[in-house]
Structure 1
Amino acid sequence: MALSWKLVVDSTDAPALADFWAAALGYEVEDPSPLIERLLAAGQIGEEAVTEHRGRRIFRGYAAIRHPDDPFDEISGIGRGRRLLFQDVPEGKTGKNRLHLDVHSEPGGREELVARLVDLGASRVREVNQGPAGHWWVMRDPEGNEYCVA
């Protein structure tokens, strides 16, 4: 049986990084505010567990994005499909990522995609040309996490 999963990315500013990746991938930022209101009203969490971002209440230190076509829980806003969760951690990034995303452009649209990602806050690291194996850009998101654009 296949298992459900999500990719968790350590961050220093989870909501901002979620905003970047949602814009980069065309995903939706999850809205946990209905769940938060229920948990606050029931006394299951305190105000210290939440903050506000872009007019929505969110869990402090967490933000997630989901594919717009995938199912999600109407009450919690949590996606049940392709999903990235960003969580704030106290330590900074110290080395190369051992896991990264490859973002694929439409045929012939790689340079336009790279330019759009740079406009969103990404940076180019290096261009790789492996002959028959392909040509891609190694990029960094606003917090320095590496990914590739092919």
Structure 2
Amino acid sequence: MALNWKLVIDCREPNVLAEFWAAALEYLVEDPSALITQLRTAGQLPDAAVVDYGGGQRFAGLAAIRHPEDPFNELSGVGQGRRILFQEVPEKKVVKNRLHIDVHGGDGTPEALEALTVRLESLGAERLKLVDQGPAGRWWVMRDPEGNEFCAA
């Protein structure tokens, strides 16, 4: 039987990256507000473990996104399928990623690629380099708002 998994990305600002990647991938930012309220009411969660963000409460140092069609736990908001967790770390990114996300959109035409990269730039991404391998493919290497490389094809 295959295992469940999630991708975890170390970052400085989990909520900012969760918002960016949710918009980029058309995912949903997980909403842990109900669980946070329950834990705080029971005295099981200190104030320092919670931040106000986007009009709600989230766990300090953690934010996650999930695919909108996948099941999720209604109390915690945690997705039970395709999911990315952003985890706060104290240091900035300093070297190239060893793992990255490829974002695919459109029909593979140059116009579709341009539309995708323009949309990603409007969300805060930056184009780095166009890779053109002829019939094998064409894509942009880009950076998210914290400098993590990804490809748009």
Gaps of 5+ in 2: none
How far apart, CA to CA, are the structure 2 residues paired with 1:39 and 1:140? 36
- The Cα RMSD (Å) is 0.7
TM-score normalised by length of structure 1: 0.98
Instruction: Specify which of 144, 147, 150 is matched with residue 147 of structure 1.
Output: 150
Which residue matches 2:138?
135
User: Structure 2 CA distance, aligned partners of 1:44 and 1:7?
Assistant: 27
Question: Which residue of structure 2 lines up, in the alignment, with residue 101 of structure 1?
Answer: 101
Which residue of structure 1 lines up, in the alignment, with residue 113 of structure 2? 110
TM-score (norm 2): 0.96
Do residues 122 (structure 1) and 125 (structure 2) align?
A: yes
Q: What's the counterpart of residue 32 of structure 2?
A: 32
Cα distance between partner residues in 2 of 1:98 and 1:46: 35
Counterpart amino acid of residue 134 in structure 2: G
Measured after TM superposition, the shift of residue 132 of structure 1 is 2.4
Q: Which consecutive aligned stretches of 4+ in structure 1 deviate over 3 angstroms post-superposition? A: none
Q: Give the superposition deviation at 1:43.
A: 1.4
Cα distance in 2 for residues equivalent to 1:83 and 1:52: 22
CA shift, 1:105, in A, is 1.1
Q: Show the counterpart of 2:77.
A: 77
SS in 2 for 1:23: helix
Equivalent position of 2:55 in the other structure: 55
User: How many residue pairs are counted as aligned between the two chains?
Assistant: 150
The separation in 1 between residues aligned to 2:6 and 2:102, in whole angstroms, is 16
Deviations along 1:29-53, whole A, 9 cap, x unmatched?
A: 0000100011111111111100110
Amino acid at match of 1:121: G
Deviation digits for residues 60-88 of structure 1, max 9, x if unmatched?
A: 01110000000000111100000010011
Q: Deviations over 1:107-139 (max 9, x none)?
A: 031110100100110000000011222110000
Q: Say yes or no: does 1:67 pair with 2:70.
A: no
Matched with 2:45 is 45
The one-letter code of the counterpart of 1:46 is: P
> Structure 1: 5+ residue runs without aligned partners?
none
